[in-house]
């Protein structure tokens, strides 16, 4: 079954460039503004959208994304409302892939079968669930793939050759290579090391490889795009949203524009890098 993710990465390959994957937290800072930001991302240059499912204990996220989850939860965001957000986005955009990213607990509480049925109907294309290792694939990964939803796995600098086959076994859509050790938004990647790691991963799988964690600027994005199939930007974008909130963390007239402006800048870096490489 071909998903929007498969279609988008095939198109990027034909264009000879890397893609830009943008992460925002569902419901941050409020549901209406969150939807407006989602709608603005593709026009600004996002090729794939990762939509964070707010959770009270986001152990893999740095303080910037943790704070965005808290803002969303404080404004009543739930998993059901996150699916409503996807559904509303799909009324205007039926081509941009959406990957829900988060933790298993909210899905488990919602009910796995119910969640997958509702997610597929809403227009979700993929899942990244950071606290489910390959040993737990029967919990969610295998049912998701059967439902026609890609299950995207994280690879890290500490994933060794012995572990790689298990990580790759049921992964689909793309692989997400974490460019640093630690939580999101806390360090700058070693771009040369990332290039070597991406090459090593590509020797093991035909799946596209997206690289994230620590990408903040157009130059960062361009450096990653030289070797990866996509560049993932999360904390920097969430920080841009936060910077355009008022003192009470409420949206202002500048909030959506701030998000779109950063995405345009990053998209320019990604697209320029791949065009230069092709010349």
Beta bridge partners of 181: none
Does 136 score more than 60 pLDDT? yes
**Residue 220 maps to a domain:** yes
Does 277 score more than 50 pLDDT? no
Rounded average pLDDT over 110-125:
98
Lowest mean per-residue pLDDT among 74-83, 106-115, 209-218: 209-218
**Residue 222 maps to a domain:** yes
Q: What angle do CA 104, 108, 110 make, to 5 degrees?
A: 120
Which DSSP letter does residue 135 get? G
In this structure, are residues 59 and 74 in contact, taking their beta carbons and an 8 Å threshold? no
In this structure, are residues 39 and 255 in contact, taking their beta carbons and an 8 Å threshold? no
Q: Given this model, what pLDDT does residue 278 score? A: 40
Q: Given this model, what pLDDT does residue 279 score? A: 38
In the three-class reduction of DSSP (H, G, I as helix; E, B as strand; rest coil), residue 119 is classed as: helix
**Residue 159 maps to a domain:** no
**Residue 12 maps to a domain:** yes
- Tokens encoding 141: 């990964």
CATH number for the domain spanning 111: value is: 3.20.20.70
Alpha carbon distance 252, 99 (integer Å): 27
- Binned at pLDDT 50, 70 and 90, residue 116 comes out as very high
Does 265 score more than 80 pLDDT? yes
pLDDT tens, residue by residue, 203-262: 999 999 999 988 899 999 999 999 999 999 999 999 999 999 999 999 999 999 999 999
Beta bridge partners of 24: 51
**Residue 162 maps to a domain:** no
In this structure, are residues 139 and 104 in contact, taking their beta carbons and an 8 Å threshold? yes
Rounded average pLDDT over 106-134:
96
> Against a cut of 0.75, is the pTM above it?
yes
CA max distance for the chain: 51
Alpha carbon distance 150, 96 (integer Å): 14
In the chain, the percentage of residues whose pLDDT exceeds 70 is 95
Q: Given this model, what pLDDT does residue 193 score? A: 86
Alpha carbon distance 139, 104 (integer Å): 9
Q: Which domain holds residue 138?
A: 4-151+216-271
**Residue 129 maps to a domain:** yes
Alpha carbon distance 118, 114 (integer Å): 6
**Residue 77 maps to a domain:** yes
Q: Given this model, what pLDDT does residue 181 score? A: 59
- Tokens encoding 53: 């499912």
Q: Given this model, what pLDDT does residue 95 score? A: 98
Nearest to 177 by CA among 150, 211, 151: 211
* Distance linking the first and last C-alpha atoms of the chain: 34
Q: Which residues are identified as catalytic?
A: 50, 61
Number of domains in the chain: 1
Residues 101/126/237/188 CA torsion (nearest 10 deg): 80
Burial of residue 179 (number of CB atoms within 10 Å: 0-12, 13-18, 19+): buried
Rounded average pLDDT over 77-98:
98
Cis ω for the linkage preceding 219 (within 30 of 0):
no
Rounded average pLDDT over 94-105:
97
DSSP string, 80-112: HHHHHHHHHHHTT-SSS-EEEEE-HHHHHHH-H
pLDDT tens, residue by residue, 28-49: 999 999 999 999 999 999 999 9
**Residue 210 maps to a domain:** no
Beta bridge partners of 99: 50, 126
pLDDT tens, residue by residue, 187-199: 577 888 889 989 9
């Amino acid at each position: 079954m071909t998903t929007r993710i498969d279609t988008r990465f095939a198109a990027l390959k034909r264009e000879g460039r890397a893609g830009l994957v943008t992460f925002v937290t569902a419901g941050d800072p409020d549901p209406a503004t969150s939807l407006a930001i989602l709608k603005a991302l593709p026009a600004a240059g996002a090729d794939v959208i990762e939509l964070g499912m707010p959770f009270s204990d986001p152990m893999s996220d740095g303080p910037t994304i943790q704070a965005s989850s808290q803002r969303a939860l404080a404004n009543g965001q739930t998993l059901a409302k996150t699916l409503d957000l996807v559904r509303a986005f799909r009324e205007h955009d039926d081509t941009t892939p959406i990957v829900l990213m988060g933790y298993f607990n909210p899905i488990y509480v919602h009910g796995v079968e119910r969640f997958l049925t509702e997610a597929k109907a809403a227009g979700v294309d993929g899942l990244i669930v950071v606290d489910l290792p390959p040993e737990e694939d029967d919990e969610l990964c295998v049912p998701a793939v059967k439902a026609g939803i890609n299950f995207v796995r994280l690879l890290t600098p500490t994933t060794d050759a012995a572990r790689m086959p298990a990580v790759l076994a049921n992964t689909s859509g793309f692989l997400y290579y974490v460019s640093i050790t630690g939580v999101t938004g806390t360090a700058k990647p070693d771009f040369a090391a990332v290039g070597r790691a991406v090459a090593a991963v590509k020797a093991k799988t035909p799946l596209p490889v997206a690289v994230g964690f620590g990408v903040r600027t157009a130059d960062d994005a361009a450096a990653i795009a030289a070797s990866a199939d996509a560049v993932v930007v999360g904390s920097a974008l969430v920080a841009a949203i936060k910077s355009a909130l008022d003192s009470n963390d409420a949206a202002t007239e500048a909030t959506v524009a701030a998000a779109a402006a950063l995405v345009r800048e990053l998209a320019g870096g990604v697209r320029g890098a791949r065009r230069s490489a092709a010349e």
